[in-house]
Amino acid sequence: MEEREKKRSVVPFGPQHPVLPEPIHLDLVLEDEKVVDVIPSIGFIHRGLEDLVKKRDFNEYVYVAERTCGICSFGHGLGYVEAVEKCMNVEVPIRAKYLRTIWSEMARIHSHLLWAGLMADAFGFENLFYQCWRLREKNLDLVEMTTGGRLIYSVNKVGGVLKDITPDMQKVILNNLSELEAELRDVYKTFMTDYSVQERTRGVGVLTKEQVHDLGCCGPYARASGVARDIRQLGYEAYGELDFEPVVSNDGDNYARCDVRLREVFQSIDLIRQAIAKIPNGELSVPVKGNPDGEAFIRIEQPRGEAIYYVEGNGTKFLNRFRLRTPTFANIPGMCETMKGCSYADIPLLVVTIDPCISCTER
């Protein structure tokens, strides 16, 4: 036992690493080239955004909540606004719900394509990385046309939305999404059938269904191991009126996670088509009077998994507390579990498969 311990070395991974979109630090305990233990530490990008809720009134805080993260920004704005609306018992008009759903799915497409590019970069396939990001540009152009910003949408407000998607814009969206879908089939085929991709991803980082339950993983990370749980099934916003099933795979390795996330992009395009076909006419927002008082708790399905939003108001225009539990925080224990026993060269891939969004994890 002592001999083995003497052969162990601790190698630091991060916070700066080419494969990481955001800084996280892992201490990898290695025996020769095999990882035996992982000790994560976060805190490099903590900005104290939850404390800022005491200094910015609850209407203005939407703009701060959105900027928690650049990739999941619409989801954070949406979750915060929904939690405050639940606290104040505000009923949002139905057209606003559909618009929020459409933007939510567009955010999901952009996030998954970003992830697909990073994954391709992580196993060295840079050509595929650029192809994925070129497709993502089409999506970002649509978002800029409808909201005004590419990553930070700034269309949510307490009580509804600020901007409308006109019928002309809807036609453009449908056209461009069809083009995106056709090109995405090529990318999906490459991810799933290319020899070099399969060598790097099949059988690597396996998580069984029981392990997912024990460790509390969520989102596509859990769905790739056979757990059919998607918070959109709760029916918040307009999801109750749209028809979809959670995308599930049973293998539980990196290959299954690629499969689940890319199939979710196709599912999102389908959801946008359904929403645009069904969107009713109506107002965009309702006026909101008074201040939030009491607590409210909301869960939404971010691209990375289940995010929980909690607000507590005390009758003044400044909230008492805002707490956000991000999906990456729930997935990090799962990540550490998959790393035990793997080879050192697989570590970057295993970090990228949880789709880490560390800036939401430490606000």
Partner 1 sequence: MPKTRIMAFTWSTLKNLFSKPATKNYPAEPIRYPERSRGHIEIDIEDCISCSMCARSCPTGAITVDRKELTWAINRFDCLACGYCVIKCPKKCLHLVPGYQTPEGEKKEVSFKRPAPAPKPAAAPSAAPKAAGSASAAGKATLNGDIVTMANGKTMDLSKFPAEKKAEILKKLGLDAAPAPKAEAEGKATLEGDIVRLPNGKTMDLSKLPEANREKVLQKLGLK
Instruction: List residues near partner 1 by CB under 8 A.
Output: 56, 59-60, 63-64, 67, 127-128, 131, 134, 137, 141, 144-149, 152, 154, 162-163, 186-187, 189-190, 192-195, 198
Residue 205's alpha-carbon distances to 27, 71, 296, 326, 346, in angstroms, are 18, 24, 37, 22, 9
Residue 32 or 186 having the CB closest to partner 1: 186
Q: Are the C-beta atoms of residues 30 and 9 closer than 8 Å to each other?
A: yes
Q: What is the three-class DSSP state of 298?
A: strand
Q: Please tell me the distance from the alpha carbon of residue 202 to that of residue 15, in angstroms, as a whole number.
A: 27
Q: Phi first, then psi: what are they for 295, rounded to 5°? A: -115, 155
* Minimal distance, residue 313 CB to partner 1, in Å: 19
* Minimal distance, residue 88 CB to partner 1, in Å: 18
Residue 16 or 193 having the CB closest to partner 1: 193
Residue 57 or 293 having the CB closest to partner 1: 57
* Minimal distance, residue 163 CB to partner 1, in Å: 7
* Minimal distance, residue 8 CB to partner 1, in Å: 37
Q: What is the three-class DSSP state of 310?
A: strand
Q: DSSP letter at 52?
A: G
* Minimal distance, residue 258 CB to partner 1, in Å: 12
* Minimal distance, residue 125 CB to partner 1, in Å: 8
Q: Is 95 left (phi over 0), alpha (psi -120 to 50) or beta?
A: alpha
Residue 105 or 259 having the CB closest to partner 1: 259
Residue 76 or 232 having the CB closest to partner 1: 76
Residue 215 or 319 having the CB closest to partner 1: 319
Q: Which of 289, 354, 302 is nearest to 122 (CA)?
A: 354
Q: Give the rounded distance of the alpha carbon of 136 from its chain centre.
A: 15
Residue 145 or 174 having the CB closest to partner 1: 145
Residue 148's alpha-carbon distances to 69, 108, 162, 243, in angstroms, are 18, 18, 11, 29
How close are the terminal C-alpha atoms of the chain, in Å?
41
Residue 167's alpha-carbon distances to 19, 94, 148, 180, 347, in angstroms, are 40, 17, 17, 20, 47
Q: Which of 97, 111, 103 is nearest to 304 (CA)?
A: 111
* Minimal distance, residue 138 CB to partner 1, in Å: 10
* Minimal distance, residue 236 CB to partner 1, in Å: 25
Residue 46 or 134 having the CB closest to partner 1: 134
